[in-house]
């Protein structure tokens, strides 16, 4: 049976995980295609010629690229269940702002934590913790960034949790010691099936990062 929804992704990508959580929240059946990013498929190059990156959602043959754009698309098409975005324009703008903050600030600095050494790594660790502390303040006393319910911002950030063990091990630091609220929030999110069934095991991600560090020549 041909699925009308196909996701081209790679298991370890925190961006791909966002889309998988969104699809799970909406109960959408889809075909999953795992990409080998060292040997990109013709399909990927055809459906995302601009960036040649995953994730790409293909819906009825038409591709949608960029994880946060894909999640908003899913929310708008399957708008009869489990809303991911707030319905009111102001909270929606705030949700977009904070998801954009995660995109602008978390990925690059977190990558430096496992790809650099010495002073550069120390600076990256500091910035990473400061970024998470800004997010902790934004969370405040709410159970989720979305308020009472898991939403767009939670979805955009929780996927990085699967990489925390790798960051902590290579950075030689404890995220929980610095940002206990974020860890508590993450564990709360993991009580949701859509999140628990999507996030890969932290040790598996760590092993992947070990391989990547060898490839990038970081020892």
The single residue among 62, 80, 141, 211 that binds another protein, judged by CB under 8 A, is 62
The single residue among 47, 65, 102, 158 that binds another protein, judged by CB under 8 A, is 65
The single residue among 39, 50, 119, 211 that binds another protein, judged by CB under 8 A, is 50
Residue 70 within binding range of another protein, rule CB under 8 A: yes
Q: Which long-range contacts (CB under 8 A, 24 or more apart) does 173-177 make?
A: 173/125, 173/129, 175/129, 175/132
In 3-state terms, what secondary structure has residue 83? coil
> Which stretches of 11-80 are DSSP H helices?
14-26, 42-47, 67-77
Binding piece for another protein, criterion CB under 8 A, among 89-97, 149-157, 193-201, 210-218: 89-97
Residue 216 within binding range of another protein, rule CB under 8 A: no
Residue 109 within binding range of another protein, rule CB under 8 A: no
Alpha carbon distance 7, 45 (integer Å): 14
CA dihedral of 150, 154, 158, 159, whole degrees rounded to 10: 100
Describe the strand order of the beta sheet including 31-34 as a list of residue ranges.
Answer: 31-34, 5-9, 56-59, 62-65
What is the nearest approach in angstroms of another protein to the Cβ of residue 62?
A: 6
Residue 101 within binding range of another protein, rule CB under 8 A: yes
Site of tokens 């990013």 = 37
What is the nearest approach in angstroms of another protein to the Cβ of residue 177?
A: 24
Give the interface with another protein as residue ranges (CB under 8 A).
50, 59, 62, 64-66, 69-70, 72-73, 76-77, 89-90, 92-94, 96-97, 100-101, 134
């Amino acid at each position: 049976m041909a699925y009308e929804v196909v996701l081209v992704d790679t298991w370890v990508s925190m961006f791909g995980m966002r889309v998988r959580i969104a699809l799970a929240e909406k109960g959408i059946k889809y075909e999953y295609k795992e990409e080998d990013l060292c040997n990109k498929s013709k399909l990927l190059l055809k459906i995302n010629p601009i960036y040649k990156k995953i994730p790409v959602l293909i819906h009825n043959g038409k591709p949608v690229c960029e994880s946060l754009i894909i999640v908003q698309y899913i929310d708008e098409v399957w708008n009869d269940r489990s809303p991911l975005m707030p319905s009111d324009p102001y909270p929606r703008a705030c949700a977009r702002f904070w998801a954009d903050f995660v995109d602008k600030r978390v990925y690059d600095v977190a990558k430096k934590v496992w790809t650099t050494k010495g002073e550069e790594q120390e600076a990256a660790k500091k910035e990473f913790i400061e970024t998470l502390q800004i997010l902790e303040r934004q969370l405040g006393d709410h159970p989720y960034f979305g308020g009472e319910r898991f939403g767009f911002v939670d979805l955009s950030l929780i996927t990085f949790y699967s990489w925390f063990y790798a960051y902590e091990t290579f950075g030689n630091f404890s995220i929980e010691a610095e940002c206990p609220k974020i860890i508590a929030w993450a564990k709360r999110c993991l009580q949701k099936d859509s999140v628990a069934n999507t996030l890969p095991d932290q040790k598996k991600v760590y092993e992947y990062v070990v391989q990547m560090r060898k490839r990038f020549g970081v020892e």
